[in-house]
């Protein structure tokens, strides 16, 4: 439990590296069957889960001088092995690793995770990989654990991707399949994360063809990954909490370690903040956000960046008109139902919130102090509520702050470093 008090902010923050990029790098490194070097990785609960799983599979992974050295040249799995892999809370690891496992020798693999992970939908991906030769099953509810007894052959499938991680999984695994593959994607959310995966395939010189709308994909099989030396850039999802802090308080913050040329979708948060009245400037590796005296409300489609819903929703408390976040139904299938959880927390603080199937409308108003809210063991909800505490007279208590470790272990330290008045 943590109690936070209001404060204005100023200064600079170095943003930690991207979780999404770090996990993609780890998985490709493992299946390169050589030694890869990953510089400036994110070390957090989620990336530690990925590292642990790969070590269970036989990788040698060493962390020194802010660099991961990944050697997978001596994997010892055999066709007789039965193994259980626990991905913890990491949906990225669970979804992206799944198909890649189909190119390892084993008799049976069980892929599982923590309580939250075992509530997240996986059946569309199970069905797709069964089309592609992997004999797999999940629970009756369509969630992990997933049991795999077959291997990745390739072929043709169709899948609706209410999370982009389904398509990223197929993109990463199918180049290794025994045959060429064709994938139809009639529905796709979070497109920028697919672009991130494609950028890794391009760096690996993987041969594929994909339509401009990302709805039809052809990938040649029988390809391989090559050991590499890459540097991970700053994480825009993590940065969004500090972008929002400046917007919410009307203060100025400079965030360093970010690359505006990176394909991360949460860069789009900056466009929304500009539309709401913020001033944004950037240089080679830094971005400065200055909040206005009053934010503008409006309607914003955040389908491409559903992870931003918790942090953007708190801005609705101080807008000049209602803030409508829409076309983000996939926010309901993250670590928690983030639409429902954020709606409940904001109502507890005195705001009127209209919850929709695919979004929420937040009406501005005064906030109640001295309230205890739930973090729902969801790192992004915890961090969003911590940012909102900056403007709550009387302070705010969050029932459990530990889940922030999943993606942003230094969040509270960095937040404290830019407060002009320390918590009392």
CATH assignment at residue 317: 3.65.10.10
Q: What does the radius of gyration of the chain's CA atoms come to, in whole angstroms? A: 21
Angle at the Cα of 124 (from 99 to 98), degrees rounded to 5?
A: 15
Structural domain containing residue 140: 19-221
Same domain membership, residue 61 and residue 9: no
Same domain membership, residue 113 and residue 66: yes
Residue 46 lies in a domain: yes
Terminal CA-to-CA distance of the chain, rounded, Å?
15
Domain boundary among 183, 199, 221: 221
Same domain membership, residue 272 and residue 203: no
Residue 424 lies in a domain: no
Question: For the chain, what is the domain count?
Answer: 2
Same domain membership, residue 311 and residue 193: no
- By DSSP bridging, strand 181-188 and strand 155-161 are parallel
Same domain membership, residue 246 and residue 390: yes
The DSSP code for 81 is: -
Alpha-carbon dihedral angle through residues 136, 140, 143, 144, given to the nearest 10 degrees = -50
Cis peptide before 145 (omega within 30 of 0): yes
- 3-class secondary-structure state, position 364: coil
Residue 189 lies in a domain: yes
The answer to whether the beta carbons of residues 418 and 13 sit under 8 Å apart is yes
Burial of residue 229 (CB within 10 Å: 0-12, 13-18, 19+) is: exposed
Residue 229 lies in a domain: no
Tokens of 362: 């937040």
Same domain membership, residue 190 and residue 209: yes
Domain boundary among 172, 188, 221: 221
Distance in angstroms (rounded) separating the CA atoms of residues 239 and 231: 18
Same domain membership, residue 23 and residue 7: no
Same domain membership, residue 308 and residue 200: no
The answer to whether the beta carbons of residues 87 and 94 sit under 8 Å apart is yes
The 10 Å CB-count burial string (b at 16+, else e) for 23-51 is: bbbbbbbbbbbebbebebbbebbbbbbbb
The answer to whether the beta carbons of residues 92 and 48 sit under 8 Å apart is no
Residue 252 lies in a domain: yes
Distance in angstroms (rounded) separating the CA atoms of residues 182 and 259: 33
Same domain membership, residue 153 and residue 8: no
Residue 283 lies in a domain: yes
Which residues, listed in sequence order, are joined to residue 362 by a DSSP beta bridge?
323, 353
Same domain membership, residue 125 and residue 31: yes
Q: What is the pLDDT along the chain (424 residues), one digit of tens a residue?
A: 999 999 999 999 999 999 999 999 999 999 998 899 999 999 999 999 999 999 999 999 999 999 999 998 878 788 888 999 999 999 999 999 999 999 999 999 999 999 999 999 999 999 999 999 999 999 999 999 999 999 999 999 999 999 999 999 999 999 999 999 999 999 999 999 999 999 999 999 999 999 999 999 999 999 999 999 999 999 999 999 999 999 999 999 999 999 888 888 899 999 999 999 999 999 888 999 999 999 999 999 999 999 999 999 999 999 999 999 999 999 998 889 999 999 999 999 999 999 999 999 999 999 999 999 999 999 999 999 999 999 999 999 999 888 888 889 999 999 999 998 644 3
The answer to whether the beta carbons of residues 269 and 246 sit under 8 Å apart is no
Q: Which residues are catalytic?
A: 307
Same domain membership, residue 44 and residue 128: yes
Same domain membership, residue 97 and residue 24: yes
Distance in angstroms (rounded) separating the CA atoms of residues 395 and 86: 38
């Amino acid at each position: 439990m943590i109690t936070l008090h209001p404060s204005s902010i100023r200064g600079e923050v170095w943003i930690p590296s991207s979780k999404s990029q770090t996990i993609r790098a780890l998985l490709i490194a493992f299946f390169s069957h050589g030694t890869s070097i990953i510089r400036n990785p994110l070390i957090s609960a989620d990336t530690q889960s990925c590292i642990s799983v790969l070590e269970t599979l036989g990788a040698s992974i060493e962390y020194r001088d802010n660099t991961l050295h990944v050697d997978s040249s001596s994997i010892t799995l055999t066709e007789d092995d039965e193994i259980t892999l626990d991905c913890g809370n990491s949906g990225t690891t669970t979804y992206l690793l799944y198909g890649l496992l189909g190119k390892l020798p084993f008799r049976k693999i069980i892929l599982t995770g923590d309580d939250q992970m075992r509530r997240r939908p996986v059946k569309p991906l199970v069905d797709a990989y069964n089309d592609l030769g992997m004999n797999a099953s999940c629970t009756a509810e369509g969630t992990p654990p997933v049991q795999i007894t077959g291997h990745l052959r390739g072929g043709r499938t169709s899948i609706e991707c209410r999370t982009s991680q389904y398509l990223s999984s197929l993109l990463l695994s199918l180049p290794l399949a025994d045959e060429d593959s064709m994938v139809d994607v009639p529905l796709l959310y979070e497109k920028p994360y697919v672009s991130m995966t494609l950028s890794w395939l391009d760096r690996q010189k993987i041969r594929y063809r994909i339509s401009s709308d990302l709805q039809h994909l052809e990938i040649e099989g029988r390809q391989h990954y090559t050991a590499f030396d890459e540097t991970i850039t700053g994480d825009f999802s993590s940065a969004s909490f500090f972008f929002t802090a400046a917007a919410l308080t009307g203060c100025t913050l400079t965030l360093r370690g970010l690359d505006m040329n990176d394909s991360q979708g949460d860069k789009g948060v900056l466009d929304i903040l500009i539309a709401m009245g913020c001033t944004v400037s950037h240089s080679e590796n830094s971005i400065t956000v200055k909040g206005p005296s009053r934010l503008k409300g409006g309607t914003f489609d955040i389908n491409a960046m559903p992870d931003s819903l918790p942090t953007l929703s708190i801005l609705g408390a101080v807008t000049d008109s209602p803030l409508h976040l829409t076309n983000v139904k996939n926010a309901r299938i993250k670590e928690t139902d983030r639409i429902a959880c954020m709606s409940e927390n904001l109502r507890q603080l005195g705001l009127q919130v209209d919850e929709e199937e695919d979004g929420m409308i937040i009406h501005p108003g005064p906030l109640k102090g001295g309230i205890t809210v739930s973090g729902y063991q969801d790192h992004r909800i915890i961090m969003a509520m911590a940012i909102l505490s900056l403007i709550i007279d009387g302070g705010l208590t969050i029932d459990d702050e530990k889940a922030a470790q999943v993606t942003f272990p230094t969040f509270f330290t960095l937040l404290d470093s830019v407060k002009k008045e320390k918590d009392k």
